[in-house]
Every structure is written in structure tokens, then in C-alpha cells.
A and B are shown apart, each in its own frame.
Chain A
Amino acid sequence: MKKLNEMELFESLLDNPENELVGKAISQGRIALGYNCYLVPEPLLYMGKAFPVRLRAPGAGSTDLATHYMSPFICSYARSILEAALDGTFDFLGGLVFAASCTHITRGCQHFEQLRINADKEGFFTYTIDAPRKLYEPGFLFLAKDLRKAAQEMSKHYGIDISDESLTKSIREHNAFNSLLRKLSDLRKADKPKISGTEFHTVMVAAKTAPRDMLIDPLKKLIAAAEKRDGIKDYRARIMVMGSIFDNPRFTELIEEQGGLVVADRYCFGSLPGLEEIREDGDPYENLARHYLGTCECPRMMEKLKDREQSLRKWAKEFKADGIIFETMKFCDLWGYEALSDVPKLRDSDMPVVRIEREYAFTGEGQLRTRAQAFIELIESKRLSKTLAQ
């Protein structure tokens, strides 16, 4: 399929956390706030002159220093982020808002404070949101209050307007931007999708690492261009990728190079969940709390295992996935247990599933390629058997 020129900007934003648009926004006096997890609501960090940058470590390789601090038995995403921080990659940030999401990421983020990363920078602050692990009314109210506290830090250090009106405006803009992303995402549902998984993955990652207001026009142009082109028809299987943090489209590209077409993305940095509309009426802080806890599909949330399984099946059906790649980060206990429950059930229901344990950095390419190839062949052979049986 012909490459879209409109993708170039998005692709260029992924090489460095301090990308062209981030640099431009900072030069305009805006404040970049780093965050680590879906549970840190983006609209919160988009208030006033602030904008969020989700922490990534593109080009991560050796994590020697971070491994010294955190041991080799910790998820390589947490280590890579710390390594990047120690290398000065995040020096451009004006603050960090973390969520105590999982142990690895939380401990990794604690090192930012302990090692005083950026601590001497004027105005710099860190705040850790205590996100409950279950859905209940006191938990929503507690989180809403905690989000207000995080906002107060933004106000205290940078004079950002954190009023309800300001946050509601931010939510409205967030919803408008997400409606564009949803439009792009929906193109994947067609039998001949007009956008590849790699392209969509690139856009999603870029949208989390650059100011969204600067991406609106490029995104509109991209959607228009994609709609005009012919759909993809030369794929062998439609794949859903799910699991741990997944912010390198090169992985998706590798799967697609083998003939798979990644049509659904249920992982951190993905769109399932992530593009749902947030309520704009009522208390905006409470709305954020309810929305982000309610839609979070991370296994850190207790009590939602069955719900997660259901939404996984729902999405697989909606995007017509032929198989699921269940990718988990090595040493991730949460996804390890999730796979223990989910994988056998999916297999029993005749959904081809392959479990891939991987590192954050793009390593082991040959092995991944072989496994993706084998998986696609498995899907094809199952399809063939079914056809013959009929």
C-alpha cells in the first residue's frame, strides 16, 4: 500500500521525547509535564499552559545504571525510563505526575525523587496519584480529591488555572481530539482497512507525546488522505495485540511484515481503551476519576478480570480479529497472572492466541519474527481446516 506523506510528521515525533512539537511548545512558554500511566488523566495535564508527555525511552538499549538501582528482575520499561532520566532525556520536563500504578513503574518513579532528577530546576515538582485498585464510590471520590491535589501542585508551581471551568474546557478539547482519533481507529474495522496497524500505532504514540492542539490539523489531513486511498487487502490474518506497555510501532511493523494486519490495540499507549468520551457536565474532577478508573483495563485493577475478558472478546469481535497476540513484559506479575486466566479460556473458545514475553527495547527481532510467522500460519491453517470441514 502506498505510504501516506501525512504520516511523516507523526513518525518524526517518536524518535525523541523532546520532539519538534514539544520543543516548539516549550519555546512558547508552555510547560511539559511527564506522566507514566493511563491513570494520570491527560485532560488534567492539559489545563492552561501545561501539556502532557507520556514517558517513553525510544532507542532504549543498555540499562546499566537503572539495573544497578533496580536490579535486573524489574520490568525493562521501568528500567529504561529511569536510565533515560539519568541520561538527561527528560530534562525538558517541568514536572512529573505519576500514578502508583504497578509496583515496577511506581518504584521506578520513586527513583526520580530519590535521585533528585530535575529537582533543582525552577518550578519542577513531582506528584504521585494514589489510584484505587477497585471500583467503588468512596474510591472515586478519593481519587477525585487526589486529582485536585495534583492540580494544586500545577497551580502552585506554574500558576495554572485549575478551576472546574478550566478542566471542563480541557475535557471538551480532549473529547474533540479523541473523536478524530476514533474516526481514524474506525477505519481499521473495515474488511479492507484504510490504515495499517503500524500507522495507527504511530499516531497513537505521537498523540501521547506531543501537544495535541498541534496535531489536530495534521490528524485531519491524515484522516482525509487515508479515506481516499484503497484499503489493505493483501493481509493473511487480522490480529489483535494486547498486553503490557507497547510504545514502539516497530513491533507492530514486524508483525505486519509477516502478513498480519494489526487491527486492534489493547495495551498501554493503545486506543482500547483510551478514546472513550469523558462526561463534560458535573464535577470535572469526579468525572475524570470515574472515567479513568472505570475504563482502565490494566490487570492492576482488582475485581475486573471477568470484565476485562469480556471487553477483550467484544473488541476482538468488533475489529474482526482472527487471532490475539498476548504480549507481556518480562517480570510483569500482573500480566503473568492475567495470561494464566485468559489464555486457556480464549483457546478453549477457539480463538487463536500466542503468548509472547518480551523486553521493552526492540530486541530479539528474529525470534519475534518467527513467532509472528508461526502464529499467522496457525491462524491460516485453522481457517483452512474450518473451510474444509464445512
Chain B
Amino acid sequence: MLKYRGNIKDQWIDFKYWGLNWLSILGLVATNPYKVVIALFKYPWIYDLLKTNNLVKRYNEGRNGTALLLSNINIYYVIRGTVRQLKTIVYGSKDTFLENCMIPTEIYQAMGLKVFVAELPAALLPMEDQHTCDKYMDLIENNGLPGDTCSYPRITAGVFAAGEIPRDVKGLISNNLPCEAGMASHGYYEDNLGVPTYRLDVPYNFKEEDALNLFVEDMRGLIAFLEKNTGRSMNWDKLREVLTRYNQMNEIELERWEMAASDTPPLANENIWISHFWNYNLEPGNKDSIEWYNEMHKHLKKAYDRKEPALKNLRFRVVLWNPPTFAYAHFWNWLEQCWGVACLNDMESFGHFEDMFIDTTSNETMLKGLAKKWCNTTMSRHTRGPVENYLPDLWHMFERFRADFILVAGHIGCRSSSAMSGLMKEEAQKRGIPICIFDYELMDSRVCSHQGIRDQINNFMVNVMKAAPLNKSLLVIDDDSEW
């Protein structure tokens, strides 16, 4: 049930988006109820997505004003995007490509192709309900996959092994992102699917011109593969449109960074990374993405002009390193309410800051710009390339957003970032930067419970930051079995 927020305007926002969310979901059913019913049997994880409005509730506990509005806008657009994704499999998947979550989707958009991101269930389900993916992880571990690999591809492999990812697809497109586990998991799908497959290989040392050119060649290979397997041609004008919208998103992104660096940052916590995660990784340059960004920006600018910060009690500014806590989606709300902490930027959102814009003057420049973008995308830039990208970006972010400390989500399944933890601590110490590394597992809250995460933060805030909680009753909450 919707809780009264203390004023009519906020209450209306809550109600409006609650309704819009349901309408979007029902929109999927209304088009072809029969196929949706069949799909619910084939892909039962879709049921769990119905918990979305509860997620909104958890995100927005105690929030008002612009922060509440932005959070609602974010989830609403995520639902619309999810529905778009589901349509590619619910109404039949024979002409759909299964893909990895970090492929240059601009190319599909330009060619008008249907794609389904294999990692979609893994990305969304643990946010809706922390335990909903336990069964998939158990299944794949029983099949022989070590339980210590990153839970993101592990859940995906589990959903695949359970037969709940479409197999009658047109082809498989994957790459070596976001990490080796992700890359290797797609080998498992390729082995089982037996469909035409293309694998993009993002070079290690992509700052080198030769390496970048190699990736351009690889993308040409992808385009040729798609043309061969679909009979469609690459529409370069359409690509230009998509990239123009992407450039507009970049302009907004830079303005958002400026606002975040101010004394009254209007955007914080999951509202930053959710919009970035979806719009930069899954659907960059999509019409909905630019609409989403514009809609958020309109409200952000107003709040910025009014000097309305994202948190009523903003006490600490932080930057987040490593992926956010998917299995504890509303962690951010707790951080706000209990400690007054605002995360102003994070690794998901902080991509490359050199040459962000793509030159659309020719097909060549577009391909090269795309190559650079995807070599520098989240995790490609930070957690698999040269070390020079990993730590210097962090110190840059710390200064740029005038943070009080760095929050590091120490995902124990992430080899690449775990392997840098010692250097990070030593360097932070040399620079006099407080750093809070909390251990957790990205999507498996059985490894580190919600309270386990909170305890680590509580200890840091009390002992290092010498802070007192805003609300003592939130220090320990029994929510380990809740959604």
C-alpha cells in the first residue's frame, strides 16, 4: 500500500508512477495475452518482475520532493525498457539475437534488430527480491560451476541451465566483457545453443591506436555477421541518429556531473547509477533513453536552481567504486536515512571523460567513436584494462566530486577489483583519503547479508568518520528474509 508522504504533491507523484508502472506492465499483456501466458510458463522469472512497485517503495522510504520524483522516473523507464526487452522473447524469439549485456547496441538499433540481453534476469531479479535467484545459483553450482565465481554470470548461467532463457534464437552475440566470468559464461551458452555466434574481443590495451583500430575491425566483423544472418543492411543514417542522441545524453551527463560537484547536489545514490547503467550499457542513444535523460534533467535543473540537495540531511559526500549492491537494492536509502550519506558518482556511471562525444561526420568516425566508447565503458575501462585506468580514475572522481570518503563495494566475486584492493588501500592512505571497503557478494545475499553490509558501514562511520547515526533505530534491522 502507498504510505502517506506528508504532502499532496509527493503523494500524487507516488500514486501517478505506481499507476504508470502497472500500466506499462499491463501493456505487455494487452498486446497478446495468450503469448504472455505461454511465456510465463516458459520464463517464470517474469513473475518476480511484478514486485517492482515494492522496490519503488523500498527505494523511496522517507524521500520527498525531487529525489522522490527522480526515483520514480528512473524505475518507470526501467520498466518500459524491460517490457521492450521482454517483447523480444514473449511474442516469439526466432528472430531475436541473444546478447551479452555490453555489446554496441547502437548497431542493432541502426539495423532494427531484436535483441534480448541474456543477463537481464540476473540484473533485475535480485533487485526485486534478494532471494529470488538463489535457486538458479544452486542449480548451476550443482551442475559443476564453482560457487565462488561472480554471481552475475552465475545467475545467468543458472537461468540458462533451467531452460528459462530462450534457446530458439537467431544467434548469439557476446564479447569478453564485463569480465572473464561473463566471457566464459557465454562460451557455455554458445556450446549449448548451437546457433550462429559472433564474439567481439575488446582489446586489453585499448588506449593504443592499433588496439582501437583492431576493435573497429572487429565491429565491422559484427556488422557483416549481422547482415549475413538477417539479410538486413547496416543503416548508417540511422546510426548517425542514434549517436546524435547519444551525444545529447553525454551533454546532459556532463551537466549532471557539474551539479553533483556542487554544494547542493540534486542527484544522488541509485538515481545516478540506475539511469546510467540502463542508458549507457543497454540502450544508449535509444529514443526512450534520451527522453528519460531529458525528463530527469528538467527536474534536476529546477532542484539545482532551488539549491535543493538530493538528501534532506546531507552529511557525507562519497563516490562509489565497484558495482553497486544489486542484492541489496535499497541499501542507498538506508545509507541516506541512517547516516546522511550521498553517493555522487560511481564506477558504473563514471566512464571515460576524454573524447566522450562521437564524431558523426562519416561512417569511419562513427565506428571509431563507437569503438572508443565501448572500450571505455564501465568495467571495460576499469576492471579489465591496464591498472592506469583503475586507480587514477578513482582519485580523479574523489577530487572532482569533492567527496568526504570513498565507498568501495568489495564484491568478492570480482577478481579484477579484488586484485587491486591492497594497492588501493595503500594509495588512499598515502593521499589521506578515508576509504570504506565493505565485503559483499554482488547478487548473493547469502554470502553477506544486508545486516552484514550495514555492520561494516556502521563500524566505519563510527570508528573512522567519528559520526553518530541520524537514526539509531536503523543501525540494526532484521530484514534478511525480506524482499
Contacts and interface: CB of A to CB of B under 8 A. Distances in A.
A157 interface: no
A148 B203 CA distance: 17
Interface stretch (B14-22, B122-130, B180-188, B465-473): B180-188
Contacts of B422: 68-71
Interface string B223-260: 00000000000000000000000000000000000000
Nearest to B421: A71
Interface stretch (A2-10, A29-37, A126-134, A281-289): A126-134
A297 B137 CA distance: 28
A331 B415 contact: yes
Nearest to A104: B415
Given A73-B148, A138-B217, A333-B184, A107 B419 contact: yes
Contacts of A132: 201, 203, 214
Interface in B166-190: 174, 176, 179-181, 183-188, 190
Contacts of B146: 328, 330-331, 333, 336, 357
B415 A128 contact: no
A100 B204 contact: yes
A339 interface: yes
A128 B205 contact: yes
A138 B188 contact: no
Given A106-B204, A333-B181, A340-B157, A305 B420 contact: no
B342 interface: no
Nearest to A110: B387
Contact of B201 (A71, A111, A115, A134): A134
B122 to A, nearest CB: 15
A145 B181 contact: no
Given A114-B423, A138-B218, A357-B146, A103 B415 contact: yes
Contact of A337 (B145, B199, B208): B145
A331 B150 CA distance: 10
Contacts of B181: 333, 336-337
Contacts of B412: 71, 73
B420 A100 contact: no
Contact of A130 (B144, B211, B415, B421): B211
A355 B418 CA distance: 26
B201 A337 contact: no
A376 to B, nearest CB: 21
A142 B210 contact: yes
B386 interface: yes
Contacts of B418: 70-71, 73-74
B384 interface: yes
The secondary-structure label for the interface of chain A is helix
A107 B184 contact: no
Nearest to A78: B419
Nearest to B415: A103
A103 B184 contact: no
A136 B413 CA distance: 31
A21 interface: no
B419 A130 contact: no
Contacts of B191: 305-306, 341
Nearest to A326: B144
A380 interface: no
B54 interface: no
Given A70-B418, A114-B387, A355 B187 contact: no
Most chain A CB inside 10 Å of its own CB: which residue of B143, B176, B187, B217: B187
Interface of B: 140, 143-146, 148-150, 157, 174, 176, 179-181, 183-188, 190-191, 197, 199, 201, 203-205, 208, 210-211, 214, 217-218, 221, 384, 386-387, 412-413, 415-416, 418-423
Interface of A: 68-71, 73-74, 78, 100, 102-104, 106-108, 110-111, 113-115, 128, 130-134, 136, 138-139, 142, 145-146, 299-300, 302-303, 305-306, 328, 330-331, 333-334, 336-341, 343-344, 355, 357
Nearest first, the 9 A-B pairs at minimum CB distance are A69-B422, A337-B184, A107-B419, A100-B204, A71-B418, A333-B181, A138-B217, A110-B387, A130-B205
